[in-house]
Structure 1
Amino acid sequence: MSKRREELRKKVARGQARARGEPVRGPSTNPATNLIMANAIIRTGSILFRKAVEKRMLKDRYGKETAKSIVENQSMGSTLLSLGMSRIATKSSTGAIAVGGGMLAKTLYDRRQAKKSRAKGDAQLLEDAAEGSGEG
């Protein structure tokens, strides 16, 4: 734990941490509540934006309904993989380099294996879409 953080904890314990008397901005007078609300709003917006971008990327190739079905029916594994990669990439520059390098390697591999890779990816996405829509 950092020295500064430890000093603040001691001050709070002794009741010496004083606010400047300025009102807290936000819907609540409790600053911790405001941070939780802001975090929830930002995460929700991020999820909605991500889904919109994914649908847009798939729409031209697969059509609007199929793209929607693909995005809505992603497997838990692919969702957790994306989450894990983003966590690793945002923790440090080393993590960002490792994740970026891995994505670059995968892209180059897929391009080298173009026909096979494209067919395999199409089949997987369409299979996932069919599972969610009850067609398969």
Structure 2
Amino acid sequence: MATKKSQESATGKAEGKTDPSASDLAAPSPNVHTNLAIADIALRGGSFLARRAVEKTLLGRKYTPGKAKAILKGRSFKETIFHTALSRIAMQSIPGAILVGGGLIAKTLYDRGKARQAKAEGEAALDDMAEAGAEEAERS
């Protein structure tokens, strides 16, 4: 059984030592604005990578990884901007979240009501996106 003094030294809280404050921690740059820019870029980049991983996972349940990647590459700029705008509206206010969430629920219920037609239309749209992504990959 360890004594109280050995427990304190094992946890790093020996006599007279305190936890470092936020001002004592090292930052990449002495300029606060630079550090904020670095944090912002890192968070946005991480968010982008996480979003892509989730999208590929959701598509990967039904499609091969290659086709899922091609579908994601085949999205138009207009679709990307529209989805970004919807997510920002939903994240900025409670009424926006209710509006966007309600619209998504309505669309889901409508699609379920028209399941057969929606499935055929969705498959055709995804095939078009996959073809556009494959063509873009060939050009690169």
- Bin for the TM-score computed over the shorter chain: 0.7 to 0.9
Give me the TM-score of the superposition, normalised by structure 1: 0.78
Residue 89 of structure 2 aligns with an amino acid whose one-letter code is I
Size of the aligned set, in residue pairs, is: 114
CA RMSD of aligned residues (A): 1.5
Q: Secondary structure at the match of 2:61?
A: helix
Q: Distance in 2 between matches of 1:94 and 1:31?
A: 34
> Using CA pairs below 8 Å that are at least 6 residues apart, which structure has the higher relative contact order?
2
Q: List aligned pairs for 1:13-52, cutoff 5 A.
A: 22=23, 25-52=26-53
1:52-90 superposed Cα distances (whole Å, 9 cap, x missing partner): 111111113121100011112211111111110011111
1:12-62 superposed Cα distances (whole Å, 9 cap, x missing partner): xxxxxxxxxx45752111111111111111111111111111111111312
Cα distance change on mapping 1:94 and 1:25 into 2, 3 Å? farther
The residue aligned with 2:104 is: 103
Q: Is the 8 A contact 1:70 1:125 kept in 2?
A: yes
Give me the TM-score of the superposition, normalised by structure 2: 0.76
Moved more, 105-114 or 55-64: 55-64
Structure 1: unaligned runs, 5 residues or longer: 1-21
Q: Distance in 1 between matches of 2:25 and 2:32?
A: 6
- The ranges of structure 1 where at least 4 consecutive aligned residues each deviate by more than 6 angstroms after the TM superposition are none
Q: Distance in 2 between matches of 1:57 and 1:90?
A: 22
Structure 2: unaligned runs, 5 residues or longer: 1-22
Residue 79 of structure 1 aligns with an amino acid whose one-letter code is T
Q: Is the 8 A contact 1:90 1:96 kept in 2?
A: yes
Q: Distance in 2 between matches of 1:49 and 1:129?
A: 21
The residue aligned with 2:6 is: none
